[in-house]
Chains A and B, each alone.
Chain A
Amino acid sequence: MNRIFSIALNTFREAVRDRVLYNLVAFAVLMSGAAILVGQISFGIEKLVVINLGLTAVSLFGVVISIFIGIGLVSKEIDKRTLYTLLSRPVRRWEFVVGKFVGLVGTLVLNTFFMAIGVFGALLYVAHTLKKPDEWVLVALYFIILQFVIVTALALLFSSFSSPLMAAVFAFSLFVVGAFAEDLRGFAGMAKGITRWIATAAAYLVPNFSALNVITSVAHGQSVSGQLIIYNTAYALIYSTMAICGAVLIFERRNLK
């Protein structure tokens, strides 16, 4: 456990050294710009824009970070030959993979925390006060973090067997396909015979990101059911564990010579 924590901490430090948190500056500019500008160019949606834009930006910034940092987690260590030094110590390969995963997720959680402060700050600026329904924004942020957990696990899985470029393409494609997961299930329902089975299997195999996206409804102050929170949490944990297991399986058998 200690070894996983050490790798995670180093991954976090490396991400900070890589100036990953610089995206917070862009986010701050975006939020303050939107908060000031929207009142002048639009009508009646100042608060909605702050929530929609803020949460969308948190989600997209985080997904981009998780893909582009996630794909380099393994390959960078191989290229720099630091992996050999690490594995020559009493560190197992699976610990390396899990440590990297935890480190990047930790970075993204911290990043999201700062962005959440920005979102609530902008919300306070446009609405002058925070109301009870605004607490659902926190649930939306939690779901976004769950989304990062899945994307990071996928990026790590793809980076364990392919080049960084291909891993980025695979991870991003799966993110896009995952946004259509519910449509895919609908299409599968319309198909017949073996096609139906294959389409249904594919629909369940791709990550379902649409269930994790409650941005629009929380922007209108609508509540999120406790059951959805529990099941989404379970789904994200199970799915990312599955992807990490895949990454570990591949990495354990990978010839690093």
Chain B
Amino acid sequence: MKSSQITLVAGVLLVLCLTGSILTLRRVDELRNHATLEEVLYVSSPQALKRISLGYDGLLADIYWTRAVQYFGNKHVQGADSYKLLAPLLEVTTTLDPKLLVAYEFGSNFLTAKPPQGAGMPTEAIALVEQGIRNNPNEWRLYYDLGFIYYLDRKDYRDAADAFLRGSRVPDAHPWLKIMAARAAQEGGEAQMAGMLWTTTYETTPSKDIKANAAAHLRALRVDEDVTTLEALQARYRERNGHFASSFSELESAGMLRGIPRDPLGAPYKLAAEGKFEVTDPDDLPFIQKGLSIGYIPPPKPKILPVD
């Protein structure tokens, strides 16, 4: 056999074997019935991992954070109601790199939200943020996150006020923290306070996803407020005329409205029976409590509109 022939045969064989190995591996993956490694944490001790890293713990923390993000993302897409590895993954990440703020901030967000949006584990989220504060006492955002969980999820206004107050004492803290502390201490004005919390999140987060989520919550708060106001108008109209207005023009003629009211996305509100008001497309306005038609079933995954 000539040298050129050997080269040709070896080259062709190499390409064939490469293709063959890929195809075989794909078949092996199918046979293993999607046996992924994601539900397994081989080394569960963060301290052991820190030792194993030989001092390169920063890179390992980044890998574990990426793994936590991937784990959360996959579960979120599947609409899962259990995120059992999320808290351990975040614990490992933050032990390896106690300064990794992104893991405390977004990790607590992932942990707090109720399934299927998140893990529904606010206790673990509080522990994570408290650990973050111990390791980074000068990061006002962590106190804000803690107060956020206490206020909106736990409805624990005293601890929320305490978290906001502690955060307000940190150098360069957001000026709203003091106001939030006062509001939370009063245990009142929940809608207004929620508005402040989501506005602060919207203004300060670097993440587009979190911004979009905050914007959706702010829109929902606006809709709830609009519908409450409109229904109060209908009640006044009924008092005067003995019946509910059947169209917006009737409310306009009575001098109660100027034009057709629109939701934050620009769609007109609809008049419903019994003096109620509804939004045109509730799927575009997740998290709203009012303005929903009777029997409305929200989609399994809320539709969060992107922000610019």
Contact = CB atoms under 8 A, between A and B. Distances in A.
Nearest to B67: A42
Given A38-B66, A49-B62, A53-B62, A43 B207 contact: yes
A215 B207 contact: no
A59 B56 contact: yes
A44 B207 contact: yes
Interface stretch (A107-115, A118-126, A131-139, A176-184): A176-184
B210 to A, nearest CB: 10
Interface string B87-115: 00000000001011010001000000000
Nearest to B58: A216
A210 interface: yes
B255 interface: no
Interface string A215-238: 111011010000000000000000
A213 interface: yes
A45 B100 contact: yes
B54 interface: yes
B299 interface: no
B102 A41 contact: no
A38 B69 CA distance: 12
Contact of B102 (A44, A216, A217): A44
Contact of B206 (A44, A60, A213, A215): A44
Interface in B175-224: 206-207
Contacts of B102: 43-45
Nearest to A220: B99
B106 A216 contact: no
A215 B96 CA distance: 13
B51 interface: yes
A48 interface: yes
B254 to A, nearest CB: 52
Interface in B51-65: 51, 54-59, 61-62, 65
Given A45-B102, A48-B100, A216-B97, A209 B55 contact: yes
A52 interface: yes
A217 B100 CA distance: 10
A41 B59 contact: no
Contacts of A59: 56
A56 interface: yes
Nearest to B65: A45
Nearest to B97: A216
Contacts of A217: 99
Nearest to B55: A213
A45 B105 CA distance: 13
A60 B206 CA distance: 33
Contacts of B58: 48, 51-52, 56, 215-216, 219
B238 to A, nearest CB: 51
Contacts of A176: 54
A237 B66 CA distance: 38
Contacts of B61: 52, 216
A176 to B, nearest CB: 7
Contacts of A210: 55
Most buried by B among A38, A42, A51, A215: A42
Nearest to A147: B55
Given A216-B97, A220-B99, A42 B55 contact: no
Interface string B268-299: 00000000000000000000000000000000
A213 B62 contact: no
A176 B54 CA distance: 7
Interface in B38-57: 51, 54-57
Given A48-B62, A56-B59, A59-B56, 13 more contacts: A42-B62, A42-B66, A43-B65, A43-B207, A45-B65, A45-B66, A45-B100, A56-B56, A179-B55, A180-B51, A216-B57, A216-B97, A219-B58
29 contacts: A41-B69, A41-B70, A42-B62, A42-B65, A42-B69, A43-B69, A43-B102, A43-B207, A44-B102, A44-B106, A44-B206, A45-B66, A45-B102, A49-B62, A51-B58, A52-B58, A52-B59, A53-B59, A59-B56, A180-B51, A213-B55, A215-B55, A215-B56, A215-B58, A215-B59, A216-B61, A216-B99, A220-B99, A222-B99
Interface of B: 51, 54-59, 61-62, 65-66, 69-70, 97, 99-100, 102, 106, 206-207
User: Which 5 residue pairs are nearest across A and B when measured between Cβ atoms?
Assistant: A216-B58, A44-B102, A42-B66, A213-B55, A52-B58
